[in-house]
Structure 1
Amino acid sequence: MAVYLRHLQEQLNSGVNSMPFSWEDWVDLSYLNRFLNGQGRSCASFLTDYQISLKYEMDESLPSTEYANKSFCLDNVDYLKTPNGKYRDEKLLPGFNFMQRINEKSSFIGKVFNAKSYLLSYAPTPSLIYFLNENGTYYKIKPYQATSMMQNGLFESFTEKSMFAGFDPVKEFGNLEEKYLTHNENDFADQLLKTKNFELKIPEGNFYLNTDELFADLYKKDPSLLEENEKRFLDSVEYSKAADAEDVKKYFNEVNILWPASYNAHKLKENGGHYDARFFSGFVSEMPFSEFTFHSPYYIPEELDRRPLDNPTSRRTIILSHLLHTLLTATFHDGLYMFPAHGSLLSWYFTSMSFPYDGDGDVQMPVADLAEFCLRYNNSLIVQNPKYGLGKYYIDCTSSLTHRGKEAGTNNIDARVVDVDTGMFVDVTGLGVSADRLTASNMNKLNGWIPKHVRSKYPLSKADSKRGRRQGALASNKHKNEAAKAIQKAEANDKEMVNNVLKIHSENKIYNCRNDHYYTYEQLSPVRLTLFEGAPTFVPASKNSLTSILEQEYSALSLRRVAWEDWVYLKPLHMWVHADDVYWACVVNNLQPTTAAGKSKNKKKAKGNKKNVKGVNVVGCYTGNEATIISEMIKSSLYEITSEEVLKHKDERRPSMNIVEELYHDNLLNSVHAKEMAIYHSGWEWKTPSIHDYHGVPTKWKDLAQWMLQDHAPPRMPLFDYLSYVEAADQGKEVLILPSNETGIQW
């Protein structure tokens, strides 16, 4: 990153708005090293060696081009003849060169190599790179396909500088001149400062997608003068308009592995559904001991007689936190409405941060904002402000943007923002008017938000798609002419129904995403300022709107539930902790650890090495013993980070999460959220003061909102800083955690 930032400075100073790009420099491809030095595999041998079940046979005596339309793979000799091949060094190719994801299911190990090969050989060069700076400003530059920085001279130029003193991305970024910064005049921060209550009404027109009107200036532009991102966007819109949504193939591909699956004699916890196939680096839950997964340079030796501080939960929350922080910061200052949705909105309700068990994030946008987002950012990289971390996020938008119904149900996601290091992602869905009819269930969920006279006359859906009716007609008619008549009649009825439903939805301001989530305008707007993962964003200003949205998706109980999966919510800490930790704290204090039916009530038996306890099983112990449990957890965490053996617990079952670490990470933003909800949401379940409230957090909404509009770091420490802390702790150094007035943490 330091090398690229130095080159960015040199390019901007010379008036050049472009830079060379190779995915080799932006992702870890070292997984492919095992196939170098004469260890390469042909496409056929790779697919065989990694037990990928093909529906066809490959003859290795034939050139790989014979099977390329099935295997999507070329051997080196064929790949080097392609336009992409001229940018690659044959000595650094693994032998197999994939054009896309392997369609067939396989082990996750094969999927890792598939992803890395694709990035090396065929992944498209981004249209733009956005380097985020302070207060919504950024440097924007056009990359062009090139060889890696080890071959094109960038690295050598950087290290040969007479003043070379190491690689410092923060320093290099600070050397960039502000005059090259870009800032959107529609920045929401500027708009909100002009309001009384830091609220905005979303324009109703944002929920309608008329691409001809929205992008009239682009259509009038001379095609030869269109920027690459503009041309791609218009091409995508025209493709979408011409396509039958029922026939559009699934656009986004996750990692499809053979399931159930095991590795190294244990069952895998993940099935690949939360990873983008193109950037997959292995399962985070397999860290840090698997050689086939995203890993740090530093490994915790297994022989150490203690549980590692470097755990999958911490890594996953760090990655997702920085991804959401970067995305929401960028769109907020770019004047695009984007806000947390689904599980992300529910997690915001509790702590203003993602649940520790979340594997991805969800955000929503009015469909017009979504279209503008895709115009600006599709096929682009957003680079995190180096002051906060070294995240790089690839943005990809669907090819069927103009279709706003669920149809076949394979393209419910409109855009995806992917962490290129791991493949973890945030899903983006658009909200707009469509002809998809409400079911009786969805209508009941909107009770009170849709007028009674509309409800009584509404043509409720029977959940039968156009394709379903076509297939039904064909099945029930033996003769083709009878089938054709039946299809024509169904399509005529469809057209009449479409117009009727569109009219009802438009007149009553009923909007939906492409996965049957329906809302009314009054539920969604106005929106107010808030923070999620430390980034400015929006939630419905009305507490009735907010709670109704969450309750219609999750139930009223979800707003009060203090246990989910392996986690328990501790009100005084305003944070989720692992149920294993609560269980352990109960045991050492001679409290009944579990209360669920079928669990042992024998305290001696309960003192065993209990793992993977469900949160609901330990709530009974925690309730009524809050002070004791929290005190024990904090005390044990203090012992966990000290090098003094005498202070360490002799029990092998020390908590897997470092509560003090988490406490200070989340302290400031948790306290701000608690203050905010106490001010703005009098019915908030968790409004009681926490034990870590900061003195000095503004108590008046105006002052608090102005503070929230300032730049803030993500609540989680950057991954590399986190790993440095782990390494220091493992080397026996004392590590002191102190709160900081600026970011909430200081190491």
Structure 2
Amino acid sequence: MYRYLVRSLKSPYHEILNLRTKNLKHILLSFLTIQIFLGLIIFYRNDNTLKSIVQVLTVDDFQDGTILYQKLRYNTSSIWIDDYELNKDILTIKFGPQKGKKIGSINELSFYDSDPRLIWSVYLNHLMTMDETSNDPITIPFSWYDWADFHMFNKLMSVTASQKINISCNFLMEAAFNKTVLESIENQLNEPLFSYERKKYSDPFWYKNTRKLDHSLIGIQIPNHCVPNPNGNERFNLPYIITGLYDKLRPEVYELHARNHMLNSLRHPLSLTIMNKDKTSYRVDLDRDRKANIIQSNLLSEFIESKQTLGNKQLFFDHTFIFEDFISKPIVKKLEVKIEGIDKDIYDNDFIHLKQTDFEFDPFDKIKKLETNIENLNSHEKNYLESLKYSINTNPALSPKHFDEAKNVQQVNGMGFHRDKRFYNGALIDHEQEYMQRLNSLIRNFQKFIKANGLISWLSHGTLFGYLYNGQAFPWDNDFDLQMPIRHLHYLSEHFNQSLILEDPREGNGKFLLDVGSSLTIRTKGNGENNIDARFIDVDSGIYIDITGLSVSSEKVQDNMAPYIDIEKFNEVVLQNKTKFDSTFLEEEGEGLASLSITELQSYINEHEDEFDGTIKYKIGELIKGETERKTNSKFFVNNLSRKERYFLNRQFQLYNCKNRHFSTLEMLSPLITTSFHGVDALIPHKFITSLRTEYKLPEKFGFTTFQGNVYLPELRYWFKFPILKKAANINKIFDSLNSLTSSLNDIKLSDILIVYHNLLRIGSRDLFANLYTSFDVTTYRMKEIEIQYDDSLDAIEKLKYLSLLRKQVAPNLESPNKDPVIYDYEKRLWEEYGRHVSTSKITNVCDYVDVRYANMLWEKVESLQERRLDLFKVKDNRDDTIDLNNIGLNLFTGSDKMKNTFFKEDPSLHIV
């Protein structure tokens, strides 16, 4: 390992990082300490010894900074850097006018941050005291305060709790904060209340224009959205309550506004779903009628008392140890989710075969079955039944929008459109790293969640497109798109709608609300307000996954699906099967307005004008106008078919659609291919290239690619923003302080990759470089997958053998390509605190030292990949024989196929089992 430092010091690229020679001796003396630490972090991976090492280091210490920085920047494991203790953490006030004060009891607390180690320990301890033999359902207390990030809210609360400043509703109802009030708050905090564009408040011109408000309008809005807290200045709350969301605000204002609403006015989930990795899940019902955090519910007192009786002088909250204990207890058998008709081991297969019945669902039959057992339904089943009954009685053209985005948040470049309005928690625009971390956590947890419960879902649209290149989403995507067969969408709704899904605490700290829409039985576009069937929402940011169900329906097939329909065969089948229409037509008419066609609905509205406002009348007219234009512009014969005939055609040719009129065929989808996405198991359509070509202009070549200011470098398996890449490559040799490449970007030499790495660090793109390091294995995995899939020297059976080995032996060892966002935020605060106690030069030296070391470590990986000796791909088969996958498949890194290929012209030929 010493050669990394030697190489970095002797290399000409050392000058790029400009390490200060006066600290060189310090760096060398520190090196042995770091090596010992890095060895210990592996040896004591699941032990508290590492944490104790961190605790004995002083703040003003080079080694301490080096350990913290490398953990922050390059370690994506879910290990916390320190312990959570009663006295050190919860009984020591962390911010506000009383920062640093130690209190004697939890009863003196007015606020606390919901550290996962604290919350998990307390709740798991409580669950293990429950009687697993009782027939009564287990219900536990709940408050959003314990299960979401309220850090900024708490900072404000620390000021109001001390009664230093009196804040009114106006503070959270104006477009930007009142500067005078804001400065008073920050004087009490002795730190900024928020960071995003905080400096703009010092710009008089910006402040004046942003604060230009119709105060009479605000006066009208406040009573509709904000009221005084009836309990006054109570603990764990502000003296006013947001009763309805109003998002025409700056992001920092709306963050506090939305968190207040979440705490006080947002309905509790039906349950908590606790993940046990991707193996199984446990569900426990929540008390929806009373808001009670761990102090108000006495759960924390219960925990402290149970531990103190054991004679513990220093009380630690070791949540992962407690979790291991929890999953070994009999109580989990009672809590485990079991879905009838589901194969939970289905992801063990290389291919998953879909059936036509997966895309058909009879809601009327389901309602009958549920109602015959009404007395024994659990809370989720009751909720599901009510949803079905509502949906079948709602006309598609009148279905109200279920999901609401924070689209009116001001000065965020429209980014609010990609965030759930209820869970918005800051702009994240200037925190690209955290945005990527939250997206990564989001998709990894959804994939683990559906696998644990045997549910089927596959990557689609832009998410599938991103996977194609490097096994990750496009870095410019703001959400994910996944599809499910309608039958599995109903499983999802029946068992998990309105459940808060919790990541296994041994793997991370994600918390996600599963929210299924109220128009599940409507399978046509209707008014277009509910194209999305469900969302998996990160409650600490509002970022989400769009989930759409595919089913057979009476929707008009799009013109691009014409090649999949044999018109002559259809006409022949129609003549022979007219009598079968009624028996196969599952889109039965509902009652009342739900039974009316769009033209019949328009007639009804015209006859009952007093029952509908002008907006509805206008929208119905526009829908009819749009359908008429669509029929006129398309010569496709399906436009002349009746509703039942369209349903029969779609069913006959196995054409399945989502509510946004995206169609797929069963042949295109099935059998689904099991692969890896963001380092976890995922499914993709069998004909994934064909599927993408129905939507996008897909390049035929896998290689150097440009798209809207972004550049894909296959050698680095990463998408770069062109301005950054241009600077890192020092194109045209503009920057004297940077080395220039000796080759072109579209055919970069191996030696030039190291120059790109060092230049990225030199120009300050440390986050980007860290991403290249932490995602190396995930992106290399995808490249190896392509090399095997498109190697014509391998027959289909050989491809299957090696792809199966890759998935079963290599994929489980893939680390997350990004850090857990909660741990990142925690470590970032520690790093900022460290920075306040040491000199700028020491900070620079710490960063330079660690970055140089990891640049050389990454370079070593690149060399191993180029020489086809990467340890990642050395695996064992079922006879325990070693197989080196390095030498299997094409060589896309340095071989001739790197530049000359048309891989994405068609789907790879794979053996089906």
Residue 314 (structure 1) aligned with residue 314 (structure 2): no
Which of 1 and 2 has higher RCO (CA within 8 Å, sep 6+)? 2
Q: In the aligned structure 2, how far is the partner of 1:683 from the partner of 1:516? A: 36
Match of 1:127 in 2: 270
* Superposed displacement of residue 388, structure 1: 1.9
Q: Which amino acid aligns with 2:524?
A: G
CA distances 1:346-399 after superposition (whole Å, capped 9, x unpaired): 111111111222211111101111111011111111111122211111111101
Residue 169 (structure 1) aligned with residue 319 (structure 2): yes
Match of 1:146 in 2: 291
Please tell me whether the aligned partners of residues 270 and 283 of structure 1 are also in contact (alpha carbons under 8 angstroms): no
Q: In the aligned structure 2, how far is the partner of 1:56 from the partner of 1:520? A: 56
Match of 2:746 in 1: 623
Q: In the aligned structure 2, how far is the partner of 1:243 from the partner of 1:446? A: 29
* Superposed displacement of residue 23, structure 1: 0.6
Tell me the percent identity. 21
CA separation of 1:23 and 1:722: change in aligned 2, threshold 3 A = closer
Match of 2:647 in 1: 502
Residue 279 (structure 1) aligned with residue 423 (structure 2): yes
After superposition, the CA RMSD in angstroms is: 4.2
Match of 1:202 among 351, 354, 359: 354
Match of 1:595 in 2: none
Match of 1:12 in 2: 128
* Superposed displacement of residue 453, structure 1: 3.4
Q: In the aligned structure 1, how far is the partner of 2:297 from the partner of 2:474? A: 43
Please tell me whether the aligned partners of residues 131 and 140 of structure 1 are also in contact (alpha carbons under 8 angstroms): yes
Q: In the aligned structure 1, how far is the partner of 2:302 from the partner of 2:726? A: 56
* Superposed displacement of residue 557, structure 1: 2.5
Q: Which amino acid aligns with 2:323?
A: F
CA distances 1:80-99 after superposition (whole Å, capped 9, x unpaired): 5xxxxxxx973544344233
Match of 2:780 among 643, 666, 671: 671
Number of residues paired by the alignment? 621
Match of 2:403 in 1: 252
Match of 1:437 in 2: 556
Match of 1:552 in 2: 694
The gaps in structure 1 that reach 5 residues or longer are 81-87, 262-267, 287-311, 460-464, 593-602, 610-617, 641-648, 688-696
Match of 2:149 among 8, 15, 28: 28
Match of 1:519 in 2: 664
* Superposed displacement of residue 270, structure 1: 4.4
Q: Which amino acid aligns with 1:133?
A: N
Structure 1, 532-541 or 388-397: larger mean CA deviation: 532-541
Structure 1, 548-557 or 140-149: larger mean CA deviation: 140-149
* Counterpart mapping for 1:290-309 below 5 A: none
Residue 3 (structure 1) aligned with residue 118 (structure 2): yes
Structure 1, 17-26 or 155-164: larger mean CA deviation: 155-164
Residue 76 (structure 1) aligned with residue 178 (structure 2): no
Please tell me whether the aligned partners of residues 777 and 814 of structure 2 are also in contact (alpha carbons under 8 angstroms): no
Q: In the aligned structure 2, how far is the partner of 1:473 from the partner of 1:239? A: 20
* Superposed displacement of residue 285, structure 1: 1.2
Structure number with the higher helix fraction is 2
Q: In the aligned structure 1, how far is the partner of 2:692 from the partner of 2:641? A: 33
Q: In the aligned structure 2, how far is the partner of 1:743 from the partner of 1:229? A: 43
Structure 1, 558-567 or 269-278: larger mean CA deviation: 558-567
The gaps in structure 2 that reach 5 residues or longer are 1-115, 133-137, 177-210, 575-595, 610-616, 632-638, 836-842, 862-869, 874-913
Please tell me whether the aligned partners of residues 461 and 695 of structure 2 are also in contact (alpha carbons under 8 angstroms): yes
Residue 634 (structure 1) aligned with residue 757 (structure 2): yes
Please tell me whether the aligned partners of residues 353 and 670 of structure 2 are also in contact (alpha carbons under 8 angstroms): yes
Q: Which amino acid aligns with 1:632?
A: I
Q: Which amino acid aligns with 2:319?
A: P
CA separation of 1:712 and 1:333: change in aligned 2, threshold 3 A = farther
CA separation of 1:680 and 1:153: change in aligned 2, threshold 3 A = same
* Superposed displacement of residue 627, structure 1: 3.6
* Superposed displacement of residue 128, structure 1: 1.4
* Superposed displacement of residue 678, structure 1: 2.6
Please tell me whether the aligned partners of residues 132 and 330 of structure 1 are also in contact (alpha carbons under 8 angstroms): yes
Q: Which amino acid aligns with 1:358?
A: D
Q: Which amino acid aligns with 2:665?
A: T
CA distances 1:598-622 after superposition (whole Å, capped 9, x unpaired): xxxxx65x8799xxxxxxxx9x951
* Superposed displacement of residue 11, structure 1: 2.2
Please tell me whether the aligned partners of residues 388 and 713 of structure 1 are also in contact (alpha carbons under 8 angstroms): no
Structure 2 counterpart SS, 1:538: strand
Q: Which amino acid aligns with 1:245?
A: P
Q: In the aligned structure 1, how far is the partner of 2:252 from the partner of 2:599? A: 38
Q: Which amino acid aligns with 1:571?
A: P
Q: In the aligned structure 2, how far is the partner of 1:128 from the partner of 1:474? A: 40
Match of 2:717 in 1: 574
Match of 1:705 among 807, 812, 826: 807
* Superposed displacement of residue 322, structure 1: 1.2
Match of 1:94 in 2: 238
Q: In the aligned structure 1, how far is the partner of 2:423 from the partner of 2:641? A: 44
Q: Which amino acid aligns with 2:363?
A: T
Please tell me whether the aligned partners of residues 173 and 218 of structure 2 are also in contact (alpha carbons under 8 angstroms): no
Structure 2 counterpart SS, 1:400: coil
* Superposed displacement of residue 233, structure 1: 0.8
Please tell me whether the aligned partners of residues 581 and 656 of structure 1 are also in contact (alpha carbons under 8 angstroms): no
Please tell me whether the aligned partners of residues 126 and 303 of structure 2 are also in contact (alpha carbons under 8 angstroms): no
Please tell me whether the aligned partners of residues 516 and 534 of structure 2 are also in contact (alpha carbons under 8 angstroms): yes
Structure 1, 547-556 or 572-581: larger mean CA deviation: 572-581
* Superposed displacement of residue 432, structure 1: 0.8
Match of 2:586 in 1: none
Q: Which amino acid aligns with 1:504?
A: L
* Counterpart mapping for 1:254-273 below 5 A: 254-257=405-408, 261=411, 268-273=412-417
Match of 1:307 in 2: none
Q: In the aligned structure 2, how far is the partner of 1:3 from the partner of 1:743? A: 36
* Counterpart mapping for 1:363-402 below 5 A: 363-402=482-521
Q: In the aligned structure 1, how far is the partner of 2:700 from the partner of 2:228? A: 53
Q: In the aligned structure 2, how far is the partner of 1:344 from the partner of 1:700? A: 25
Match of 2:905 in 1: none
CA distances 1:535-572 after superposition (whole Å, capped 9, x unpaired): 2121123xxx2111111111123875722344321112
CA separation of 1:271 and 1:58: change in aligned 2, threshold 3 A = closer
